[in-house]
Amino acid sequence: MAVRAFSSPRRPLRSDAFLLLVLFLVSVSCSTSETQGFCAVGYESDCGLSSEKILIKGGTVVNAHRKEVADVYIEDGIVVSVRPNIKVGDHVKIIDATGKYVMPGGIDPHTHLEMEFMGTVTIDDFFTGQAAALAGGTTMHIDFVIPVNGNLTAGFESYMNKAKKAVMDYGFHMAITKWDEGVSKDMELMVNDHGINSFKFFMAYKGSLMISDELLLQGLQKCKSLGAIAMVHAENGDAVAEGQKRMIDLGITGPEGHALSRPPVLEGEATARAIRLANFVNTPLYVVHVMSIDAMEEIAKARKAGQRVIGEPVASGLILDDSWLWHPDYTTSAKYVMSPPIRTSGHDKALQAALSTGVLQLVGTDHCAFNSTQKALGSEDFRKIPNGVNGIEERMHLIWDKMVESGQMTVTDYVRVTSTECAKVFNIYPRKGAILEGSDADIIILNPNASFKIAAASHHSRSDTNVYEGTTGKGKVEVTISQGRVVYEDGKLKVTPGSGRYIRMPPFGYLFDGIEKADAAYFASLNAPIQRTKSAA
């Protein structure tokens, strides 16, 4: 019997006209990608019809809370049953997963698709970025809406429009770049009407996205009242601007100047400041792209003291070091420019240890890809290099190899940091982040004995470069199932533009449990105001 405890809205049937439009969009948007294994389809086409009934047999099913050898039966986009020896009739696609891991599809909490930034637009849109994600075992991501001239509603509409070609499920965070009554009201609208439950505050990028402490404080208070998670890009933007000037004065104009101008201490300072302000307000805080020991230790200290702080390392910070920024070839070095910067060797290993011990909770990518022509914008001045690296396709493989294959992390913890914790933090668990009866059928099958190799020539991003070029490792996602359909198998993608669904994320997730009680205890402890008698004299 189909269980639909977490049922999702079904897509309405498309009209032929719409299907034609979709196929037209595909021919426009993926013409360069067809050579790399895309097969963009409607429901029935040359690529074949994806089965709506699937039985995954004999694999090790991994959830964050346990693993077991079991079969998984999927019908109509939903997990119907998880148990050994499921029997099915005809017309069911059977996938043998013996000796392989069957896991919830990855959820990437941090991406920037088709984002206008630093005078250009990220090269991957909601088609190519999501196709790349599916090829790498990620079945949902949460992208950052950037307001249009500070206007949240205009920003939301613009991103809903960009996402029309989506091929998998996605949600939105919203950046806050200015403060007034309209922004405050629009935050209510975003949470109550549009399914956004997180807002990001940039403490860096002076002159564009950066906000003041005063705004951060207002924002934290507003987030608390709405049950929305406050997120921070934590770097001291004023000091970064000063550091950049210092490098230029020294004649350092190349990509290495990027790392030198914004050292870890500036990330540590801003992380500490945001944590203290969130503590003052008593609201949960989510620190995006934790890149340094300095920031990680601030998070560790706060969590030890009982504060609700979530730390998100990203694949680049966990895997790479900054030696690339000193590479003599400009194109090679510029592709590693992101903020906060990729740090010196040692920070990567410390972040891995923090992830495996639970000091940091979940892994993102900050997928913000620019091609080499875009990166060339800063060839005379590192301050003009568009900041960002790829990762949406590579994250699941890199984290498996670096953390699980190396023995640093258990398989259940792998599922937790790549999928489940994200679903929990953003309040969409167990619809997402689990293989349980009633969960969405977003599932991957990973072969621990197969290997992967990363190369720009074969990846699905539109970028002509890859920061993990040449990286090899063990553990390969062989099958990706999204919304109950096999979308990646035998190295081939079968994706349907327009099939991606916007996932609404309700406010007041688990991080808000007990906040009111803590506030009440705080007010009770004040022992004030004191009722004083006026003296006669």
Angle separating helix axes 293-304 and 347-356, nearest 10 degrees = 30
* CB nearer to ligand URP: pick between 230 and 415: 230
Selected from 233, 262, 335, 347, the binder of Zn ion by CB under 5 A is 233
In angstroms, give the least distance from the CB of 235 to ligand URP. Answer: 9
In angstroms, give the least distance from the CB of 140 to Zn ion. Answer: 17
- Burial profile 195-214: b = 16 or more Cβ within 10 angstroms, e = fewer: bbbbbbbbbbbbeebbbeee
Confirm if 441 and 483 have CB atoms less than 8 A apart: yes
The count of chain residues that interact with ligand URP, using the rule CB under 6 A, is 9
In angstroms, give the least distance from the CB of 365 to ligand URP. Answer: 10
Task: Count other C-beta atoms under 10 Å from residue 158's C-beta.
Answer: 17
Give one word for 12, left, alpha or beta, with left for phi > 0 and alpha for psi -120 to 50.
beta
Task: Give the distance, in angstroms, between the CA of residue 393 and the centroid of all CA atoms in the same chain.
Answer: 12
Give the helix ranges, DSSP H, for 322-371. Answer: 330-334, 347-356
In angstroms, give the least distance from the CB of 338 to ligand URP. Answer: 3
d(CA 302, CA 277): 12
Selected from 125, 267, 366, 440, the binder of ligand URP by CB under 6 A is 366
Is there binding between residue 338 and ligand URP (CB under 6 A)? yes
Q: Are strands 169-176 and 138-145 parallel, antiparallel or unpaired?
A: parallel
Is there binding between residue 124 and Zn ion (CB under 5 A)? no
> DSSP class of residue 10?
P
Name the residue whose CB lies closest to Zn ion.
233
Is there binding between residue 368 and ligand URP (CB under 6 A)? yes
Binding mask 270-299 for ligand URP (x = CB under 6 A): -------------------x----------
Stretch that binds Zn ion, among 126-134, 227-235, 416-424, 474-482 (CB under 5 A): 227-235
Query: E strand or H helix at 511, and its extent?
Result: none
**Type of residue at 137:** G
The SS3 of residue 57 is strand
In angstroms, give the least distance from the CB of 378 to ligand URP. Answer: 12
Confirm if 254 and 333 have CB atoms less than 8 A apart: yes
Q: What is the dihedral of CA 473, 448, 110, 62, to 10 degrees?
A: -160
Is there binding between residue 387 and ligand URP (CB under 6 A)? yes
Stretch that binds Zn ion, among 41-49, 89-97, 297-305, 358-366 (CB under 5 A): 358-366
Is there binding between residue 233 and ligand URP (CB under 6 A)? yes
Binding mask 97-136 for ligand URP (x = CB under 6 A): ---------------x------------------------
* CB nearer to Zn ion: pick between 228 and 392: 392
Residues in contact with Zn ion by the rule CB under 5 A: 233, 366
Residues of this chain that interact with ligand URP (CB under 6 A) are: 112, 233, 289, 338-339, 366, 368, 387-388
